[in-house]
Amino acid sequence: MRVLVLGGTAEARAVAARLVDRGDDVVSSLAGRVSSPALPVGGVRVGGFGGVAGLRDFVVAEGFSVVIDATHPFAARITAHAAEAVAPLPQPLVRLRRPGWEGHPHAASFTWAEDVAEARDLAGALGSRPFLTTGRQQLDAFASWTDRYVLVRVVDPPEWPLPPTWDLLRARGPFTLDAELALMRGRAVDVLVSKDSGGPLTQAKLEAAHVLGVPVVVVRRPAEPAGATVVQSVDDAVVAIDALTGQGRT
């Protein structure tokens, strides 16, 4: 079967590898927003589709049997576009979204925010030396923090000059607990700001904050659009696409 994977995550690479290994024809689509991304096995395309209509035309023209949206939990735009594009088509849409941190052992102690702006306000009341791990695309929401030390960790730097009091750290997970403890102690971090990305690659920061008594502000995930079969693991994604396409394989 021919499968389009909307990717860019570890889960997307894992499901592509699983499908290629069993003989499916897989094309992974990457947005192209990260320099030197980790590439999946199988076919790869980079760049946008030109909106909902462009994605729909691509699915039809390329003869895909199914679409798997395995993009980041906060890639709300492409997830919405995928649902809208596939809705009138016979091809099913499977949304592979890794579990979030609502079930984390320390989740009850987190301060939950509905969006990044609220997270900024909540974090500003909890500490004066924040550690921002929300990604680069919404860092401008914190641009008013020119009066304090701010530790920022990103894969790629933002496209605007950061205030002189900010400390930019470029790094890609996974991160270990020992490394996170050393980083947060060394920078005297007193509040951690994160999105509810989930997954093991960046989870160590939550444990480090708990050990150090640092409050954690977490931005809730956007709601999923209707129309997709939502699963939380690669195994479940494979089972779902086989069931939805009538393949009957495991």
pLDDT at 173: 84
Q: What type of residue sits at position 173?
A: G
Instruction: Look at residue 152 in the predicted model and tell me its pLDDT.
Output: 97
Q: Based on the domain organization, do 114 and 17 belong to the same domain?
A: no
At residue 137, the pLDDT reads: 85
What integer pLDDT is reported at residue 202 of this predicted model? 85
Residue 147 lies in a domain: yes
Residue at token pair 């394989």: 249
Domain co-membership, 115 together with 147: yes
162 and 93 in a common domain: no
pLDDT score at 248: 55
CB of 93 within 8 A of CB of 225?
A: no
State pLDDT tens for residues 199-236: 888 899 999 999 999 999 999 999 889 889 999 999 99
Residue 130, pLDDT score: 98
Whether 192 maps to a domain, the answer reads yes
Q: Tokens 């760049």 appear where?
A: 47
* Beta bridge partner(s), residue 244: none
Q: What is the 3-state secondary structure (H, E, C) of the chain?
A: CEEEEECCCHHHHHHHHHHHHCCCEEEEEECCCCCCCCCCCCEEEECCCCHHHHHHHHHHHCCCCEEEECCCCCCHHHHHHHHHHHCCCCCCEEEECCCCCCCCCCHHHCEEECCHHHHHHHHHHHCCCEEEECCCCCHHHHCCCCCCCEEEEECCCCCCCCCCCEEEEECCCCCCHHHHHHHHHHCCCCEEEEECCCCCCCCHHHHHHHHHCCCEEEECCCCCCCCCEEECCHHHHHHHHHHHHCCCCC
Residue whose C-alpha is closest to residue 209's, from 189, 227, 223, 229 = 189
**Same-domain status, 193 and 119:** yes
Give the span between the Cα atoms of 11 and 99, in whole angstroms: 11
Same domain, 114 and 208: yes
Residues 118 and 31 in one domain: no
Claim to verify: residue 149 and residue 215 sit in the same structural domain:
yes
Domain range for 70 is 2-99+222-245
Clarify whether residues 66 and 111 are in a common domain.
Answer: no
Say if residues 89 and 59 touch (Cβ distance below 8 Å).
yes
Same-domain check for residues 114 and 215: yes
Residue 250 lies in a domain: no
* Residue 206 and residue 111 share a domain: yes
73 and 161 within one domain: no
pLDDT at 145: 96
pTM here is 0.86
Q: Which residue ranges of the chain lie beneath pLDDT 50?
A: 249-250
Structure token pair of residue 207: 């444990």
Which CATH number is 44's domain given? Answer: 3.40.50.720
Q: Does 58 reside within a domain?
A: yes
Residue 32 CA to its chain's centroid (Å): 14
How many domains is the chain built from?
2
Q: Cα dist. 51→12, 55, 64, 78, 224 in Å? A: 21, 6, 18, 9, 18
Assess if residue 166 is contained within a domain: yes
Q: Is residue 39 part of a domain?
A: yes
- Say whether both 165 and 235 belong to one domain: no
Q: Quick one: pLDDT at residue 250?
A: 43
